[in-house]
Amino acid sequence: MIRAYTPDDEAGVRAVVTAAFGGDGEKVARLADGLRATHARAELVAEAAGVVVGHVLLSRSWVDARSALIDVLVLSPLSVAPEHQGRGVGTALVEAAVAEARRLGAPAVFLEGSPAYYGARGFEGATQRGFTRPSTRIPEPAFQVAVLDGHEEWMTGRLVYCEPFWAHDSVGLRDPELSHIEQMFES
Ligand SMILES: CC(C)(COP(=O)(O)OP(=O)(O)OC[C@H]1O[C@@H](n2cnc3c(N)ncnc32)[C@H](O)[C@@H]1OP(=O)(O)O)[C@@H](O)C(=O)NCCC(=O)NCCS
């Protein structure tokens, strides 16, 4: 079951995010806390037998287009408890988040992630759609967007992340992982 986050979910969400992201878990959980406190526009949990097993957050960022600053959404973080992975929970959370973004009237949802995973779930390369990465430390194929009904052709430009992504040093990758992933995409 996918439903909206409530304050009672705080501990359950922290446990899922921490477990899903392994060594980066604490940092990503602090990012989720920071986004929730300031720029979150929607937050969903997946529940199984009364226990939180997945989580996704949509936060407000901007596209700095030539004629206006455009409000957009960023899907991050997305987490599924390791013991529940591979059963469609992540897919259901992505679909529910995009549906929520549509309901909110967002013209686009951005994320950083595997093009194989998200490409099969409605996302496409954002650079090819005319958007510029907020950092060159996001490997180009990982910079993805789902363009929604409210989008118009002129709404292109640089994605400007809201402050918590920077405050928690959660933009893109850093070496040596950055070089490793770049080489993987090149080969
Ligand atoms: C990525 C994640 C959310 C997927 O959730 P999930 O519930 O396991 O996903 P689903 O069951 O809906 O989909 C499973 C598919 O995703 C693939 N997949 C899982 N993790 C992946 C990853 N990191 N990169 C690419 N593909 C991945 C599986 O191989 C499987 O592929 P298949 O359908 O072709 O067999 C989950 O693995 C997770 O929490 N990972 C750790 C945190 C993370 O990396 N979050 C995303 C950051 S962008």
Q: What is the pTM of this model?
A: 0.96
Give 140's contacts (C-beta < 8 A, 6+ positions apart).
125, 127, 133, 185
- What's the CA-to-centroid distance between 86 and ligand 1, angstroms? 7
Task: Tell me the Ramachandran region of residue 49: left when phi exceeds 0, alpha when psi lies from -120 to 50, beta otherwise.
Answer: left
Indicate whether residue 21 lines ligand 1 (CB < 6 A).
yes
Summarised one tens digit per residue, pLDDT across range 127-186 is 999 999 999 999 999 999 999 999 999 999 999 999 999 999 999 999 999 999 999 998
Mean pLDDT of 20-33: 97
Structure tokens at 124: 């496409």
Confidence of residue 10 (pLDDT cuts 50, 70, 90): very high
pLDDT of residue 187: 83
Contact, 97 vs 56, CB < 8 A? Answer: yes
**Residue bearing the CA closest to ligand 1, atom 18:** 117
- What's the CA-to-centroid distance between 78 and ligand 1, angstroms? 9
- Cα gap 51→45, rounded to integer Å: 10
Indicate whether residue 116 lines ligand 1 (CB < 6 A).
yes
Contact, 108 vs 73, CB < 8 A? Answer: yes
Summarised one tens digit per residue, pLDDT across range 78-125 is 999 999 999 999 999 999 999 999 999 999 999 999 999 999 999 999
Indicate whether residue 87 lines ligand 1 (CB < 6 A).
yes
